[in-house]
Amino acid sequence: MSGPRRYADDLAFALSLADAADAITGARFGAGDLVVETKPDLTPVSDADRAVEQMIRDRVAGGRPDDAVAGEEFGRRGDASRQWVIDPIDGTKNYVRGVPVWATLIALLDDGVPVVGVVSAPALGRRWHAARGTGAF
């Protein structure tokens, strides 16, 4: 399968990843026991960031085993023409302070070209998504 039909399937997969990410980030948002550390670049990383990225990596490995993954927290795995790019919580500074302006970012590149994208901001009740050949919503 290739082209718009394949990308529609990839978008459905990405949306399912976003649903699962929202469940994790929503449950940990504002939690009194949220673990926050400082990365070498002096930006914060929370246990929620790591949990979301690991969950997405695990699901990609199970559902799209031939695809590569690059994430903010754990780097790159694999070397394939199709690569999932993840920012588990874009806006971690806001997230750890209880400010509801943050989102999970999930993209798929095919030969370096963005073909699927999801931005999910559950604390705002907003989600944006697009796939090549299917439109943007």
For residues 119-131, average pLDDT: 98
HEC per residue, 58-119? HHHHHHCCCCEEEECCCEEECCCCEEEEEEEEECHHHHHHCCCCCEEEEEEEECCEEEEEEE
In this prediction, residue 5 has a pLDDT band, given cuts at 50, 70 and 90, of confident
Average pLDDT, the chain: 96
Cα distances (angstroms) measured from residue 30 to each of 23, 73, 123, 134: 13, 21, 11, 36
> What pLDDT, in 10s, does the model give residues 51-103?
999 999 999 999 999 999 999 999 899 999 999 999 999 999 999 999 999 99
For residues 3-31, average pLDDT: 94
Residue-range definition of the domain harbouring residue 55 = 3-136
For residues 99-114, average pLDDT: 98
Write the CATH number for 15. Answer: 3.30.540.10
Structure confidence at residue 62 (pLDDT): 98
Domains: count for the chain: 1
Question: Rounded to two decimals, what is the model's pTM?
Answer: 0.94
Strands 135-136 and 68-71: unpaired
Structure confidence at residue 67 (pLDDT): 98
Do 29 and 44 contact (CB within 8 A), yes or no? no
Q: Which has more confidence, 109 or 5?
A: 109
